[in-house]
Amino acid sequence: MQSVDDVKNLPVQCKKGGDPKYLARNSKIYHVDGYELPEEEPLMIFRGKDVGSLIAIYEYICMLEDQPQNKTILSHLESSLERLSVFYHYQINNPHLQSVGCSMRSHDRYRMFLDFAKRKLHDHGVATYEKCNSKIKFPAGFEY
């Protein structure tokens, strides 16, 4: 196993904007804590323009919320909320993106997915904003 510092110093080959908990190098994926993900372990990547990614991350967060809270669950919850926020804001600010069956233009329930994501972020005190709109939408109870 490599040290945390060794992994953090690896030249990252994954695209900018990827999950900050994982680093890719030489066809291998490492967790920032230093361990390599097993090659035989299935892995799935969601793209920012895929509106289905919002509901998948949302449901994962709901599952985490139902677990007994401990350090590991809270860590996964924190990183999942970060990813939900990044995906949500990417989609809000890029409504023109199109893909085959997965984009806002192609899916008739995209607004529902965006609303679910926004509510979940607000439930956890994460502010949302829209491009070209200087007014940040703070969750209830966090306004000033």
CB 102 within 8 A of CB 49: yes
* Same domain as 119, residue 71: yes
| pLDDT tens per residue, range 44-74 | 888 888 878 899 999 999 999 999 999 999 9
* Same domain as 56, residue 27: no
Asked whether residue 136 is domain-assigned, the answer is no
- Beta-carbon neighbour count of residue 29 at 10 Å? 16
Strand partners, 137: 128
- Beta-carbon neighbour count of residue 34 at 10 Å? 14
| Dist CA 88 CA 49 (whole Å) | 10
Percentage above 90 pLDDT, the chain: 32
Asked whether residue 8 is domain-assigned, the answer is yes
* Same domain as 30, residue 61: no
Asked whether residue 23 is domain-assigned, the answer is yes
pLDDT for residue 15 is more than 50: no
Domain that holds residue 34: 1-44
Strand partners, 29: 24
Asked whether residue 131 is domain-assigned, the answer is no
Q: How many domains does the chain have?
A: 2
